[in-house]
Amino acid sequence: MMSIIHNLSLAVLIVIAFSCYNSILATPAPSKQSEASALLYSGWWSPSVAENTTIPHCAWPGVLCDASGSIDGIHLPYGYQIGGNLMNLTNLDLRGNQLCGSIPLEIGNLMSLIHLNLGRNQLSGSIPPEIGNLRSLSYLYFGGNQLGGSIPPEIGNLRSLIDLYLGGNQLGGSIPLEIGNLRSLTDLFLEGNQLENQLDGSIPPEIGNLRSLTYLYLGGNQLGGSIPPEIGNLRNLTCLYLRGNQLGGSIPPEIGNLRSLTILHLEENQLGGSIPQEIGNLTSLINLYLQENQLGGSIPPEIGNLTSLIHLYLQENKLSGSIPPEIGNLTSLIQLYLQENKLNGSIPSEIENLTSLIHLYLQENKLVGSIPLEIGNLTSLTYLILQGNQLSGSIPPGIGNLKSLTYLDMQGNQVGGSISPEIGNLRNLNYFHLQGNRLDGSIPPEIGNLMSLTYLYSQGNKLSGSIPLEIGNLRGLTLLYLQGNQLGGSIPLEIWNLMSLTYLDLQGNKLGGSIPSEIGNLRSLTYLNLQGNQLGGSIPSEIGNLRSLTYLNLQENQLDLDLHNNSLFGSIFIFTIFSYLNHLNLSYNRLKGPIPNNLRVVFPNAFLGNQDLNQFHKTQDPRRRIAYEDIIDATEDFDLKHCIGTGGYGSVYRTRLPNGKVVALKKLHRLEVEDSSFDESFRNEVKHLTEVRHISIIKLHDFCLHKRCMFLVYEYMENGSLFDTAHALSYMHNDCARPIVHRDISSNNILLNSKMQAFVLDFGTARLLDHNSSSNFTTNMDGTYGYIAPKLAYTLAVDVKCEVYSFGVVTMETVMGEHPGDIISILLTSSGKDIMLHKILDWRLPFPRENSVARSIV
């Protein structure tokens, strides 16, 4: 009996198929007792339920029984799992239970099933053809799994089927012709997306047999061919989704037979031809989506019959002709998208009837004429986009009635006249695009009423007068583009109070006066272009507060800046922001003095046309100047074949410059360049090398200090690593105004030239000591392990004694020929007490002949 019960339990579909175990299904005829036993032994109910003999199995959660006590249904909530060999089962709903594995072939034995829902699980494999045995099935839901393969043609046997949901899987292949046998079907969902179904082939004409169909979802697949005219037989259809396939050909005129249709999605295909006039028969239509196809011809006037239409999307096609005046009949329309076609003619005045319209997109067509006065009646509009047409005339005053407007784009037309003061009524406006028109006159002071404005584009017009003071009210403004006009007067001080401003472009006007110190208030500014005006005076040092600036163009003005007696760490503003700039141009002003090295290297064309400006730093011979381009060419853009070493901060390259000089070039690693702490280290090295003067400290020829590329150009030492240099350290520790500790003295940071003279390099971790300060403590263990003084590890106090320890290690390494740490383990053993001197000395060195020398070494 126990074996029979075991087999009964294994026969439970859910236990076998959906608990991710492999078993064999047996199906002897069940009794009420065997059904209850199967539930008990399935293990899918908690012991508190299964072991409570006072609770009949028909009262267990999710179990449904008929009047005779036989189980005929299992309906579980999300997350609950159950099983059993229940041959009278009519209803099996296991959606959303994280079930895995494949659907077993034995599912075809549950011939009483009417409702089968395995949706939203993790089922894989293919749909077994045995599914065709479930001839009583009315509802089949396999959607939202990972099922693959093709739809089995046996599905055509399910002639009682009403709902078929297979969407959201990974099904491929064609839609089987046998689907046309499902004449009772009302809902057919085979929709997918990029990661889901990929059905190909064409839509079978047999689909026209499904005359009871109300919902047909085939979108998001790879269906090709044309839409079969037989689709016109589906007169009960309310929703047709064919979007996102590869359907070609024309829209069949038979589509006009679908008079019950409310939603039509044909977008994102390759449909051509024209929009059939029969589409005007679909008077129940609410949503019409035909965008992103290749539809041509004109918009049929019959579209005006679709008076229930709310959404009309025809954008990104090849539609031509004019917008039919019948469009004014669509008084329920909320969204009208006609952009990116080839529509011509004028905007019909009948558009004033669309008083429910929220979005009107007409951009990138060939529309002409004036913007109709009646557009002021569309008081519900939030988006009005007319860009890229050939509209002329002036901005109608009625546009001030559109008080809900948040986005107004008229750019790239031929609109003239002045900006009407009524524009100040648009207090909800966020985006205002007027660029590339023929607007003249002054900017109305009412512009200051647009307190919600974040983007203002008015460049490329003929605006004149001064910039109104009221523009300072636009505290939320992040982008202000007024370039390419004829604006005069001074830049109002109020503009420098727009703290949110990130882009400011006033290029190519007639602005005069000076740049005030208040420019330093714009700390969020990343882009500043004042080129081609008549600005004078000096460049204020407060511009150095603009630490986010990446683009600065002040060329073609009359600005003054004296660059004399400044260096990398001088007071000139540019050094504060230098590391962030991608573009700098101060050409054709009245600058004078020498160009600092770092600016000249990174921005070689930034200072043209300044007659009193020296092209070279006063301390540098122009004949020996190193150009940034020469470095790039000589290293072949830092090709690895020129690399002679890599360290913690960067790589060293050996290269020959055009003048024949061989140099060593230290370039920071990319990650280090992007790290602000490494930027500080780089600055330290440049600073100390420019201040230190000693024969035993390596000479710095040039440098590039920029966030995109940081490198130092050193004198090349051809004899590699050194093991001795006390003079340089003594100078740094004792002869500088404030002692300098290198903090990374090791054999790798001491080089020899051709005469075997020693030089110290790599000042990336150097620090100036202040004997009266507590700031000599460090939080970082800088240096090379094996050379760091043990004292530093537990005190974190930096002093010259730590450096002396490192130098001692280098000295021992010199005479031993290896790092002294390598023999510490030997010295600590008993055998180490009697170790011979020749075991310690570098075998390449001659053995000392005098005992006093030997004793000194020991």
CATH number for 693? 1.10.510.10
User: Tokens in use for 282?
Assistant: 């679909």
Among 124, 156, 184, the domain-final residue is 124
pLDDT of residue 557: 77
pLDDT of residue 187: 97
**pLDDT above 60 (res 301):** yes
- Kindly report which listed range (47-61, 454-468, 533-547) carries the lowest average pLDDT score: 47-61
Share of the chain above pLDDT 90, in %: 46
Q: How confident is the model at residue 706 (pLDDT cuts 50, 70, 90)?
A: low
d(CA 316, CA 293): 7
- Kindly report which listed range (39-48, 60-69, 735-744) carries the lowest average pLDDT score: 735-744
Mean pLDDT, rounded, of the chain: 78
pLDDT of residue 275: 98
Q: What tens digit of pLDDT does each residue of 66-84 get?
A: 888 877 766 655 555 444 4
566 in a domain, yes or no? Answer: no
> How distant, in Å, are the alpha carbons of 200, 222, 266, 269 from that of 246?
9, 6, 10, 5
How far is residue 226 CA from its own chain's centroid?
A: 37
Domain hosting residue 53, numbered range? 1-124
303 in a domain, yes or no? Answer: no
Query: Residues comprising the binding site for ATP?
Result: 666
pLDDT of residue 451: 95
For the chain, what is the domain count? 2
Among 816, 834, 850, the domain-final residue is 816
Buried b (16+ CB within 10 A) or exposed e, 98-129: ebebebbebbbbbeebbbbbbbbbebbeebbe
Q: Which residue has the tokens 């959404």?
A: 311
**pLDDT above 70 (res 665):** yes
How far is residue 582 CA from its own chain's centroid?
A: 21
591 in a domain, yes or no? Answer: no
DSSP state of 755: T
Give this prediction's pTM. Answer: 0.67
Q: How confident is the model at residue 373 (pLDDT cuts 50, 70, 90)?
A: very high
**pLDDT above 70 (res 163):** yes
**365-380: average pLDDT:** 96
Q: What tens digit of pLDDT does each residue of 819-828 get?
A: 666 565 555 5
Among 104, 124, 144, the domain-final residue is 124
563 in a domain, yes or no? Answer: no
Q: Which residue has the higher pLDDT, 550 or 628?
A: 550
How far is residue 38 CA from its own chain's centroid?
A: 54
- Which candidate in 409, 505, 702, 744 is catalytic? 744
326 in a domain, yes or no? Answer: no
Query: Residues comprising the binding site?
Result: 666
Positive or negative: CA dihedral 466, 467, 472, 474: positive
Q: How confident is the model at residue 62 (pLDDT cuts 50, 70, 90)?
A: confident
| 675 annotated active-site | no
- Kindly report which listed range (200-204, 667-671, 683-687) carries the lowest average pLDDT score: 683-687
The residue type of 771 is: H
295 in a domain, yes or no? Answer: no
- Ranges 140-144, 714-718, 849-853, most confident: 140-144
701 in a domain, yes or no? Answer: yes
**pLDDT above 80 (res 435):** yes
**21-27: average pLDDT:** 32
833 in a domain, yes or no? Answer: no
Alpha helices in 510-627 (DSSP H): 574-577, 597-602
Q: First-to-last CA distance in the chain?
A: 92
